[in-house]
Amino acid sequence: METEPTTLSEFADSTADGDDVDVTPEQNATDIQNLIGLVGTLTDKVGQLAEDLEQQKTDQPQPAEDSEQATAGDMMNREANTTTERMFQ
């Protein structure tokens, strides 16, 4: 499903029904500033969650691969975690 690119001004000038709306530049600016604030808050929350996950990861002891106590499942989990970390870096 392809859609035509829409500029912000085109989006602000019509409703979902296609009706024109009267939106002043000041109202647009206020809405944009509110969205910027929400994106900033969301970014902060995601950053905090990432830090919390990193802290949890460092708090958990990791078995040594050459240790007799490490099972095949432990090694597979460790490899999966390493792969996941690489994907998000």
Instruction: Judge whether 58 lies within some domain.
Output: yes
Instruction: Tell which wins on pLDDT, 89 or 26.
Output: 26
75 found inside a domain:
yes
pTM summary value: 0.41
For the chain, counts of helices (H) and of strands (E):
3, 0
pLDDT band at residue 43 using 50, 70 and 90 as cut-offs: very high
Is the residue at 1 inside a domain? Answer: no
CA distances from 79 to 14, 59, 68, 71, 88 (A): 51, 18, 17, 13, 15
Number of domains in the chain: 1
Q: What is the pLDDT at residue 40?
A: 93
In a domain, 22, yes or no: yes
Q: Over the chain, what is the mean pLDDT?
A: 74
Residues paired with 20 in a beta bridge: 14
Q: Compute CA distances 54 → 21, 25, 57, 60, 70, whole Å.
A: 47, 43, 5, 10, 22
Residue 2 belongs to some domain of the structure: no
Q: Which domain holds residue 53?
A: 8-87
Residue 15: pLDDT above 70?
Answer: no
More confidently predicted of 5 and 35: 35
**pLDDT at residue 38 in the model:** 93
